[in-house]
């Protein structure tokens, strides 16, 4: 069983290699890509079934030596935190391939295959150097896709996202290397395994600086307020499948990093950063939502919407109690589903009308009722309407905040208003009113498109109606992580 994660990570890359070697036709390429995505999904579901929520620590661990001299290892493993994100990736990929089905540009398909390996690897890697490698390589397909297949100033915007995130990861790389060296200094051998690094008896000042390196990388990736100016640009230019990965998965990896490595390695000094993180995520949540109100480009609007929700997730992580952490983890999954749905549908609007400018749209509901229904559903899911998974997650984070302090709770509860500010006005101008000239020939959802969107709708409904089906998978380990964090943080004082 321990090789299953290796297969999950490298299967898409393997397919890309084989398909590329034979320079296959579009029809074979897309079938191959879909096959790889479905195989990964099957393997992922297998791990979910085999996963033991009650067990402590990492499961399905694969830990092999790689570069002896420097203690760098091939180290994959998974706990409930990574499992949730892995599951989201595996679920979304087949749907994205369905979206791209008729796109004949083969470079597009190869990039997507490589992208899957990149993001999956980053979620499963437990050796910091390996993590860094995946964390960087997943950016390259995105960079290429924005640059080659994107729109609206795509070259400049591809450069912007690359420079911003590389700046962050450089700081992280430095911190990682320093940690490995510190391990050598203390114990006489190099190691980059995260659990070894978490045990290092660093003096607080050094740890503070190293934590800053990590936090900078993750703050840019999420992005937290002030580190976000690449976000709207990249979202506006990215082609739809890349955009879905960007919003549904890559941004979550920033949260994942903060959670796994920020809280896992730097528990002792993190309290120094907590007020800053708290302020940035709380203010960011509202700042982004307000910014979204007047955006005329749908992709930009939901870029800010995404930023608002990611700030909420980050807030939940910073609050560090059982409810908030469970809520954040739940929101990672449900927001991925909802934002995937909305961005896919924005892509469909683009395909049909050649525009995503709100003022050029209007009246879609009159010509395409099914489209309007799905679009409204995803928009309302983003707004966290009960009956969808987002509501459960937001409720848990709000309750977690109230458990910390009433004022913090009330401030967090404003998230109920945040998405409202732009979602309904947007719906009014895109779906309702008299049909605009651009939507006169707007086709309703085709069968393929309906098949693509229905799993997202069903999952959002099930996560909202019966969260008890999902929470037992992760709550025991979240509780465990929390205890470890409190223990480690308490050790310092």
Partner 1 sequence: MSSSLPSLIVLLPFFGAGVMGFVYLFVPAGRNLRRFYVAVGIGTPLLAALLGLIVVGEMLTLPASASIASPLYSWIAIGSFEIDVAFVVDRLSAVMLLVVTLVGSLIHIYAVGYMWDDQGFGKFFAYFNFFLGAMLLLVLANNPILLFIGWELVGLASYLLIGFYHHDTANITAANKAFLLNRVGDFGFVSGLGLLFALQKQSGFDFAAIFAGLGGIDTAMLSLIGLLLFVGAMGKSAQIPLYVWLPDAMAGPTPVSALIHAATMVTAGVYMVARFAPLYNRIPDVGLFIAGIGAASALLAALFASWQNDIKKILAYSTMSQLGYMLIAVGLGEYSNGIFHLAAHAFFKALLFMGAGAVIIALHHEQDIFKMGGLGSRLPAVRRTMLVATLAITGIPIFAGFFSKDAILSYAFASGHTTIWAIGVVVAFLTAYYMFRLYFVVFVAPNHRSSRSRQSPSLTSLPRSMVWPLFVLAAGSIFLGFWNLPEAYGGSTWFSHELHLADHEAHLRFAKEYILDGFNVLVALLGIAIAYRKFVRPSHPLNAPIHRIAWQRALANTLYIDTLYDRLIVRPLRGISNWQDRLIDPKIIDGSLRGLVTLYRGVATQSARLQNGNLRWYALTFLLGVSGISLYLLIAIGGAS
**Site residues (vs partner 1, CB under 8 A):** 226, 228-229, 232, 287, 290-295, 322-323, 326, 363, 365-366, 369-370, 373, 380, 385-387, 391-392, 395-396, 398-399, 401-403, 406, 409-410, 413-414, 416-417, 420-421, 424-425, 427-428, 431-434, 466-468, 471, 475, 479
Contacting residues for 3 by C-beta, under 8 A, at least 6 apart: 62
CB-based contact 84:7 (threshold 8 Å): no
Cβ distance to partner 1 smaller for residue 138 or 457: 457
Nearer to partner 1 (CB atom), residue 183 or residue 300: 300
State in angstroms the smallest separation of the CB of 80 from partner 1.
Answer: 13
CB of 267 to partner 1, least distance (A): 21
Pick between residue 351 and residue 428 the one whose CB is nearest to partner 1: 428
Q: Is the Cβ–Cβ distance between 235 and 247 less than 8 Å? A: yes
- Considering the complex, what minimum distance in angstroms separates the CB of residue 16 from partner 1? 35
Instruction: Please report the DSSP string for 392-411 in residue order.
Output: HHHHHHHHHHHHH-HHHHHH
Cβ atoms of residues 141 and 112 within 8 Å: yes
- Of 28 and 410, the one with the shorter C-beta distance to partner 1 is 410
Is-contact 303 233, C-beta < 8 A?
Answer: no
Q: With contact defined as beta carbons under 8 Å apart, do 476 and 400 qualify?
A: no
Three-state secondary-structure class, residue 67: strand
The CA distance from 490 to 72, in Å, is 30
Look at residues 392, 410, 390 and name the one whose alpha carbon lies nearest to residue 305: 390
Instruction: Report the Cα–Cα distance between both ends of the chain, in Å, rounded.
Output: 41
Asked whether the beta carbons of 192 and 71 are under 8 A apart, the reply is yes
107 versus 437: smaller Cβ distance to partner 1: 437
Q: What is the DSSP letter of 247?
A: I
For residues 162 and 427, which CB has a smaller minimum distance to partner 1 in the complex? 427
């Amino acid at each position: 069983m321990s090789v299953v994660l290796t297969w999950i990570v490298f299967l898409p890359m393997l397919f890309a290699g084989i398909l590329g070697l034979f320079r296959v036709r579009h029809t074979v390429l897309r079938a191959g890509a879909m096959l790889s995505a479905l195989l990964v999904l099957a393997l992922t579901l297998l791990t979910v079934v085999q996963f033991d929520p009650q067990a402590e620590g990492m499961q399905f661990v694969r830990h092999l030596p790689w570069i002896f001299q420097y203690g760098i290892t091939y180290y994959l493993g998974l706990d409930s935190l990574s499992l949730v994100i892995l599951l989201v990736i595996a679920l979304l990929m087949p749907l994205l391939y369905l979206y791209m089905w008729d796109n004949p540009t083969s470079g597009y398909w190869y990039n997507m295959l490589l992208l899957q390996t990149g993001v999956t690897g980053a979620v499963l890697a437990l050796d910091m150097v390996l993590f860094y490698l995946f964390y960087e390589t997943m950016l390259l397909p995105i960079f290429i896709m924005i640059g080659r297949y994107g729109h609206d100033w795509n070259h400049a915007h591809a450069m912007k996202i690359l420079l911003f995130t590389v700046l962050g990861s450089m700081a992280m790389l430095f911190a990682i290397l320093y940690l490995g060296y510190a391990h050598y200094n203390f114990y006489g051998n190099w190691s980059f395994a995260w659990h070894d690094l978490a045990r290092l008896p660093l003096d607080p000042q050094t740890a503070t600086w190293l934590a800053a390196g990590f936090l900078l990388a993750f703050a840019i990736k999420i992005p937290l307020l002030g580190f976000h100016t690449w976000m709207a640009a990249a979202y506006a230019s990215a082609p739809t499948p890349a955009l879905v990965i960007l919003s549904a998965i890559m941004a979550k990896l920033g949260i994942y990093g903060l959670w796994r490595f920020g809280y896992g390695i730097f528990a002792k000094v993190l309290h120094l950063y907590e007020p800053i993180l708290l302020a940035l995520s709380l203010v960011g949540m509202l700042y982004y939502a307000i910014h979204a109100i007047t955006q005329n480009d749908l992709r930009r609007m939901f870029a800010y919407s995404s930023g608002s929700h990611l700030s909420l997730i980050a807030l939940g992580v910073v609050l560090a109690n059982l409810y908030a952490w469970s809520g954040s983890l739940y929101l990672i999954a449900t927001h991925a589903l909802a934002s995937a749905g909305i961005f896919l549908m924005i892509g469909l609007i683009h395909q049909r009308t050649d525009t995503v400018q709100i003022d050029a749209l209007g009246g879609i509901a009159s010509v395409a009722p099914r489209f309007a229904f799905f679009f409204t559903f995803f928009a309302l899911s983003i707004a966290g309407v009960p009956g969808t998974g987002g509501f459960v997650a937001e409720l848990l984070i709000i309750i977690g905040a109230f458990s910390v302090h009433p004022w913090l709770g009330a401030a967090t509860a404003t998230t109920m208003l945040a998405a409202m500010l732009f979602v309904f006005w947007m719906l009014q101008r895109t779906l309702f009113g008299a049909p605009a000239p651009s939507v006169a020939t707007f086709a309703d959802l085709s069968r393929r498109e309906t098949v693509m969107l229905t799993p997202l709708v069903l999952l959002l409904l099930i996560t909202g109606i019966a969260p008890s089906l999902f929470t037992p998978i992760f709550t025991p380990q979240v509780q465990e992580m929390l205890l470890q964090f409190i223990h480690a943080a308490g050790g310092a004082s």
